[in-house]
Amino acid sequence: MSPRHILELSVEEQRAFSDSFDMVVSDCDGVLWLLDGWIPGTGEAINALKSAGKSIKFVSNNSFRSDEQYMEKFAHIGAEQVQHDDIVHPVKTMVRYLKKHMPNQRVFSLMSLEANETLRKNGIEYESLEVNEHLTCAKMLDCLLIEKPCEAVLFDIHLDMSYVQLCKAIYHLQLNHACKLIAGGTDVIMPLTKDLNVPGFYFLLEHIQRFTKREPIYLGKPSPLLGDNLKEMFHIDEPSRCIFVGDMLVQDIQFGKSLGFQSLLVLSGSQTKEDMLAAEPEAQPDYYADSLADFIQLLKNIE
């Protein structure tokens, strides 16, 4: 059956839909706000869902924002009582993974300054490479010198990623055959504005893979490992009582469905109704809405 718009359900169906889930797990960019702007009513929708007794958690593929910067955005949209632990993004999942599977191991970070700050705060020993001068081959050789091997290379969306940083990450992986490649945000497309999509970081990760023959451990959406983590962190015992809300068919809808969640695509972000209808039936969401803000109306309709 084709996905149904939540406001085109009858009032009885809207009530049954609302009664069918206890937890909303929502993407952030494209759902709550845009990279370059805001989406009206999303904070109010979060508050209304909470007032209706729903628990709401947030899962983003963007760690180029610190938790504090996430909190500022939640405050801006007027979402009340959002806690740090309600938000999951790749570097936090990486910290969890490292503490559990590789405690006290040194890592090389190909991640943003904000993500590195999260590593530091969590006591992860990491190496990163910052080069702010013109590079000659001689200087580059200096930069590639490895004093201490690393046990993992952490890869994530990193707007300042440079050629020499990529080379050093590859060199770490080549030098230590046990060194793991751990990947966070690896989207194929990064929508900067409604009209401007730039290539995502997936292709840079592919570059590392090509030269190292290393298979990454994926910890961003839609990774099954992240799914297991979420179920554990948010104490999800009954996945069918959760609904995943997102603006991307692969990272959000496919991910939510793989976890056994219900799924809802919002059209406020990257993908259009035409994209949704053009997808294979199994890749389509259960429901769709213009925006998360449609929940305000839905909850009023069933009062």
Residues making up the annotated binding site for substrate are: 60-62, 221
Question: How many CB atoms sit inside 10 A of residue 217's CB?
Answer: 15
What is the closest distance, in whole angstroms, from the C-beta atom of residue 84 to Mg ion in the complex? Answer: 20
- Residue 39 vs 124, nearer CB to Mg ion: 39
Describe the crossing of helices 202-212 and 163-175 by its angle, rounded to 10 degrees: 40
What is the closest distance, in whole angstroms, from the C-beta atom of residue 61 to Mg ion in the complex? Answer: 7
Known catalytic residue: 27? yes
- Residue 133 vs 195, nearer CB to Mg ion: 195
Distance CA 226, CA 172 (A): 25
What is the closest distance, in whole angstroms, from the C-beta atom of residue 31 to Mg ion in the complex? Answer: 6
Known catalytic residue: 29? yes
Sign of CA dihedral 237, 240, 241, 247: positive
Please choose, out of 23-31, 39-47, 160-168, 175-183, the segment that lies near Mg ion by the rule CB under 5 A.
23-31
Sign of CA dihedral 7, 9, 15, 16: negative
Q: Which of 18, 27, 184, 261 binds Mg ion (CB under 5 A)?
A: 27
What is the closest distance, in whole angstroms, from the C-beta atom of residue 75 to Mg ion in the complex? Answer: 20
The number of C-alpha atoms within 13 Å of 124 and in the hemisphere containing its C-beta is: 30
Annotate each residue in 193-232 with x if it binds Mg ion (CB under 5 A) or - if it does not, as one string.
----------------------------------------
Residue of 19, 22, 27, 67 with catalytic role: 27
From the annotation, which residues make up the binding site?
Answer: 27, 29, 60-62, 221, 247
**Residue 288, both tokens:** 């769709």
Please choose, out of 22-30, 122-130, 134-142, 168-176, the segment that lies near Mg ion by the rule CB under 5 A.
22-30
Q: Does 191 bind Mg ion (CB under 5 A)?
A: no
Q: Does 187 bind Mg ion (CB under 5 A)?
A: no
Q: Does 29 bind Mg ion (CB under 5 A)?
A: yes
**Residue 272, both tokens:** 């259009």
Q: Which of residues 232-271 bind Mg ion (CB under 5 A)?
A: 247
Residue of 29, 67, 252, 286 with catalytic role: 29
Residues annotated as catalytic (active site), given as ranges: 27, 29
Residues forming the site for Mg ion (CB under 5 A): 27, 29-30, 247
